[in-house]
Amino acid sequence: MQQISKTRRALTGGAVPALALGLLLATGPAALAQQSGLSSALQQERMAFEVADTDGDMRISPGEFARDAAAGFSSLDTDGSLTLTPAELGEHDPALFGPIDGDGDGALTFDEVMTYKMKAFEAADTDGDGYLSFDEMVGAAEDQLGAAQ
Ligand SMILES: [Ca+2]
Ligand SMILES: [Ca+2]
Ligand SMILES: [Ca+2]
């Protein structure tokens, strides 16, 4: 167990907030992770950004981000249990959601995901203005792609 938690801690370094950003953004995070070319990944990001930016001001507010994260959660939570099981997360690398799994029980609750997502939001907001610009989101996604390779 000790060994596992050490590994988890290692995974929470640097790149992981970006990984979590992609994990549950509304438009096909699994597809994003599977893109081999950055340009198609950028198109995915653009779509995800536009879906999340519900007021169209070209920046993602914490509220928009939370709503998008909740929608992403719901779309993955196929049995409506408010918990994502490894089976429901099947297309994702387990290493991606290990750090999100606060209590380490192998399933992700809504609270665990939202807590983690809002940390990811802060990590991605590199200029600290409280909003995510498209560039900030792409920057986080590029970290994600780099970490996945
Ligand atoms: Ca907005
Ligand atoms: Ca859990
Ligand atoms: Ca910002």
State pLDDT tens for residues 18-55: 344 454 444 444 444 454 566 787 788 888 899 999 99
Question: What's the predicted TM-score (pTM) here?
Answer: 0.68
How far apart CA 66 and CA 64 sit, in angstroms, is: 5
CA nearest neighbour of 137 among 57, 77, 52: 52
On the question of pLDDT at 60 being above 90, the answer is yes
Ligand nearest to the CA of 60: 1
Mean pLDDT calculated for residue range 6-20: 39
**More confident: 65 or 89:** 65
What pLDDT is recorded for position 88? 85
State pLDDT tens for residues 79-98: 999 999 888 877 667 677 78
- CA angle, residues 89, 74, 46, in degrees to nearest 5: 85
Q: State the residue range of the domain holding 76.
A: 2-148
State pLDDT tens for residues 119-128: 999 999 999 9
Q: In this structure, is the dihedral angle defined by the CA atoms of residues 78, 91, 65 and 16, taken in order, positive or negative? A: positive
In the DSSP assignment, the letter for residue 108 is: E
Question: Could you tell me the distance, in angstroms and rounded to a whole number, from the CA of residue 59 to the centre of ligand 2?
Answer: 30
What pLDDT is recorded for position 94? 67
Do residues 22 and 142 lie in contact, with contact meaning Cβ atoms separated by under 8 Å?
no
Q: How many domains does the chain have?
A: 1
Question: Could you tell me the distance, in angstroms and rounded to a whole number, from the CA of residue 132 to the centre of ligand 3?
Answer: 4
Q: In this structure, is the dihedral angle defined by the CA atoms of residues 133, 127, 8 and 114, taken in order, positive or negative? A: negative
How far apart CA 62 and CA 68 sit, in angstroms, is: 10
